[in-house]
Every structure is written in C-alpha cells, then in structure tokens.
Amino acid sequence: MGYRGTGLLVGRPCNGSAAAPLCPEPPVPPLETARDFEHLDLSGTKLPHRIAMAPMTRSRSGAAGVPTALMAEYYAQRASAALIVSEGVQPSAVGQGYPDTPGLHSADQVAGWRAVTDAVHGAGGRIFAQLMHAGRIGHPSLLPEGEVNVAPSAVAAAGQVYTAEGPKDFVTPRELTADEIRATLADYVTAARNAVAAGFDGVELHGANGYLIHQFLAPGSNHRDDGWGGSVEGRVRFAAEVTEAVAAEIGAARTALRVSPGNAFNSIVEPEPEPEYTALVERIAPLGLAYLHIAEDVPARRALTVRLRERFGGPVMLNPATEGPTGLDALALVEEGTADLVSFGQLFLANPDLPARLRAGGPFNEARRATMYGGGAGGYTDYPAL
C-alpha cells in the first residue's frame, strides 16, 4: 500500500529569478484511462470510479475502541474514493491486536461509527468496515483482564507488538476449541450486523496479513486435525464459513473478503498457497460477494492473482505488489483487466483528494511515517487538498 511520489512538485522560480519564491511545477500528463474513471456496480453499491482507499490501522480511537469526531473528519476528507475500506475493526474484545484500535462489539462503538459513516455519506462517499480479529497477533495486556490471545493452534508468532507499556514479545496463544471457533464465527456475524446498524455500506472480512482468518488458512499456524485443519479443505473451512455466515446475515452484496496468498507478514508460513486459495475462492464464488480484495506480497504472485480472479468471477479489488508504495502506474491494472479496482494506502493517507490528483497526474503530498499510528490531528487530518 502507499505511494511512489516524492512529495509536492516544486522548484520553478515564479518570475524566473533564482531569488524568487518557488512555484509548483506543471503536473505530469494525466494517466486517466478509459476504465479507471468508469462507474462500477458492486451488486448495488454504485461506485463513481475504480480508485479505492485501502484499510490502514491509524490507532486513534482510544482505549475503549470508540470512534471519535476526529476519525469522522479523517474519513469524510477521503470520501472521493470509489470505496473507503476502514481500518481494521475488532469484532470482539479478544480480537484486538493493537492499542487504540476501534471495535464493533459495543453500543458506544456502533454510535461512534454512525457519526463516521454519516460524515462519509454526507460528503458523497461509500464505506465498508473491515472486520479484523487479530488472533495470535497482539498481547494479553491489550485484552480484558483474564483474557489471552487465541489462535487455531498454540503456535506463537515471532516478533513484538507495541503496547501501552512498550514493545512486548508475542505470546503463545491458546488454541481455540471447536465450540470457541463457532462462538468466534458468531462474533463476526454480530459485528457485521452492528456494522450495518452503524451505517456502513458493507463489510470486508480481513483474511490477510497474518490475522486470525489467515492463521487458519496457513499450515504454519494451523496444526489442527479436527476438521478445522489437517487438509486443504480443513484449513479453508474457517474462512469460508465466516464469509458464508456474514453473507447470510447481511447479504452477499454487502460482504467482501480480503486475502494475501503467501504473504509471510506476522510469521505466516504458506509454502504453496495456491491449493488453499483456489479452494477457498471456488467455494465462495457462488455467493455473489461484493468483491474479493487481493493483497499481493511479491510481483511473482501476479499469476495466482489472475487465476483467482478467473475463478471468483466477480469484482476484484487489487492492492498490487510494487517495488515501492502503490503509485500512479497501478492504474494500468484496471485498464488491462487485471483488476476492477485498485486500492491505495499511504498515497490516500497523505492525499485526501487522491482521485483528483491521480486524474491530473499529481502533485502528491508525502506521507509522514512518524505520525501514522496514534496521536491527534497531526499526520491525520492536516494533509492539504489541492
């Protein structure tokens, strides 16, 4: 996710004198193509173009996980996206993986999100909630007292997570029982129902980047042999059943799934991801989901992306693998038919009016990494529009 730009294009003296103030350089020729700015219908969610805002953790909701007025301003600023996918939202208290991330499991959280969605809709936008259970990623200090992190199997991830007490090593999670897995499925369904009550246009299930759904899919983190693992069908089961259950509750047209085949982030081990993801996509394809969101980890994964797109048969959003953050050249993926939408992360973070800037070919603000997570308005709502 992100951008490849180098910041605002400046450097030309306004009156030709070397001592004069610098003026913006003329933008490069626009990269608009025939399809990038075409309308798209996601089973009833009508999009004005093909440039989506990728989900990005920003950690500004406070310890109670309640969205704030500042968050409403942030998302409304970016309402010109074809579709906003929210930051990861925990479907239950035990699903939290990072400090100050929002939830969708309490009445206060639903009310807080209603203010966000009202602001986005008031600005003409559309927004899906990304439901993200972190599973083994996180730390007990981030959870309610007495709770521990859970996962398909008692296999710890390597590395550390930031907490209010500083960085802490990931702990060995508690293996979910079969009954607890079913209860977790129910948590997703309740959170999806809450998302609709909060005014979201739909939900995206986060099955990527090493979080709980991905942990079930990956043989390195799923060592079960009880029907929720032990085979391709077993490892696919949780992802498929979550998707089916949420689609049954709120409608397939308001349900989407994000996957990242082979992505090693958060200690995921998937030596041969194609069998699991092919089986998963073939199982959910008949549902008629709003879209499938594919996050590529390396350019060599493009062939698998194309095969999954063929098997899915519906709209595909792509967060492509690039040498740097996703930039202007990603628009060609829509024109050539590799994807129906392209999701931008850091570039949307720093440029609230990104579609207009892409249409014009720039210029682009540069993201400030020091303010990406936590804090206030700085590096959040203070990026200028054109």
pLDDT, tens digit, 9 for 90 and up, residues 369-383: 999 999 999 999 999
How many Cα atoms occupy the beta-carbon half-sphere of 348 within 13 Å? 30
Q: Is 1 a member of any domain?
A: no
pLDDT of residue 34: 52
Q: Is 185 a member of any domain?
A: yes
φ, ψ of residue 319 to 5 degrees: the values are -105, 95
How does the average pLDDT of the chain come out, rounded? 91
> Can you tell me the mean pLDDT for 186-196?
98
Q: Is 88 a member of any domain?
A: yes
Q: Is 251 a member of any domain?
A: yes
Name the pLDDT band for 37 (thresholds 50, 70, 90): confident
**Confidence check: pLDDT of 315 > 90:** yes
Q: Which residue has the higher pLDDT, 287 or 10?
A: 287
Convert 4-23 to b/e letters by CB count within 10 Å (16 or more is b). Answer: bbeeebeeeeeeeeeeeeee
Q: Is 122 a member of any domain?
A: yes
> Which of 83-97, 209-223, 326-340 comes out lowest in average pLDDT?
326-340
Q: Which residue has the higher pLDDT, 18 or 117?
A: 117
Q: Is 191 a member of any domain?
A: yes
Cα torsion for 133, 347, 62, 181, to the nearest 10°?
A: 0
CATH number at residue 17: 3.20.20.70
Q: Which residues pair with 14 in a beta bridge?
A: none
pLDDT of residue 324: 72
pLDDT of residue 364: 95
Q: Is 257 a member of any domain?
A: yes
Number of helices and strands (H, E) in the chain?
10, 16
Q: What is the pLDDT of residues 265-275, one digit of tens each?
A: 999 999 999 99
Number of domains in the chain: 1
Give the domain range for residue 366: 10-371
> Which of 16-20, 280-284, 351-355 comes out lowest in average pLDDT?
16-20
Q: Is 73 a member of any domain?
A: yes
Name the pLDDT band for 158 (thresholds 50, 70, 90): very high
Report CA torsion sign: 278, 306, 54, 284: negative
> Can you tell me the mean pLDDT for 280-295?
98
Q: Among all residues, which ones are annotated catalytic?
A: 211
**Confidence check: pLDDT of 16 > 80:** no
